[in-house]
Amino acid sequence: MDPRPTLLVIAHGSRDPRHAATVSALCARVRALRPGLRVEVGYLDFNAPRVPRLLERLSAEAAGGPAGGPAGRRGVREVVALPLLLTRAFHAKSDIPAVLREAAGRLPLLSIRQAAVLGPSPLLMAALERRLAQAGVRPGDPRPTGVVLASAGSSDPEAGAALAETAREWRRTAGWCAVRPAFASASLPRTADAVRELRAEGVERVAVAPYVIAPGFLPDRIAAGAREAGADVLAPVLGDAPEMARLLLRRYDDAAADRARGDRTALSA
């Protein structure tokens, strides 16, 4: 039996096929960084496997039943469930815990622990800078640059406050002349409005950095807002940036260390 918990990456899911492809690429990078660690992906909606079905399969492996799968894959007893989310909002606080609690109640052979969301972290800022560099913009360039940090958006005030704090910290540490948070939904300002505000303040060059992990409907809305307002640069989504893979493993290790210390936050015994 592998003493390490299985890493279950929980993604929202999307009708856009680029979403699942990006999540798969990110998880492949995690596996390459940590050979031998079992990494599974489950979705809340739209894509398969859904989280409950995947946990059922892992439980069957633990029991050594007919759904046990390939040799060497039996004996799963512990799972670290890692939300593929940048901020603590509805999915992290309510949706995912409810799904995991329900599964834990039905699957007593599994001990399931929910890891923390990905943000905030300096690794996220490093991933953002990597994507901007790919688009031709780096902190410290001679030409002053203002950045719109554009997220999908949430009605949860904690998520909005976290994005604003990330924007402030990124400006302080990277030396951008301005960093303005923006949202594709739920909150204001929208991406186009934030770009225009920076222009009105005299910022010479404006770059839009999507604070999202995978392509989809809301990231496309961010891109449309950047084009509408005439942003000079639009960076790619965070995707499978190396910093993202390292961050997933950091959150996994933190949760696994809590388990080793006997922390009682597991969802099942």
pLDDT score at 268: 45
pLDDT exceeds cutoff 60 at 226: yes
**pLDDT value, residue 263:** 57
Distance CA 145, CA 193 (A): 17
Average pLDDT, integer, range 197-203: 97
Please say whether the beta carbons of 187 and 155 come within 8 A.
yes
Sign of the four-CA dihedral 36, 38, 39, 41: positive
pLDDT at 223 exceeding the cut of 50: yes
Q: Model confidence over 20-44: pLDDT tens digits?
A: 999 999 999 999 999 999 999 999 9
Q: What is the pTM of this model?
A: 0.92
Task: Please write the tens of the pLDDT for every residue from 98-157.
Answer: 999 999 999 999 999 999 999 999 999 999 999 999 999 999 899 999 999 999 999 899
Could you tell me the domains of the chain?
Answer: 6-118+241-260 (3.40.50.1400), 136-234 (3.40.50.1400)
Summarised one tens digit per residue, pLDDT across range 49-102 is: 999 999 999 999 988 855 444 444 556 899 999 999 999 988 899 999 999 999
Residue with tokens 């893979």: 245
Q: 222: which residues sit within 8 A by CB, 6+ positions away?
A: 150, 152, 182, 184, 191, 208, 210, 212
User: Which pLDDT does position 125 carry in this prediction?
Assistant: 98
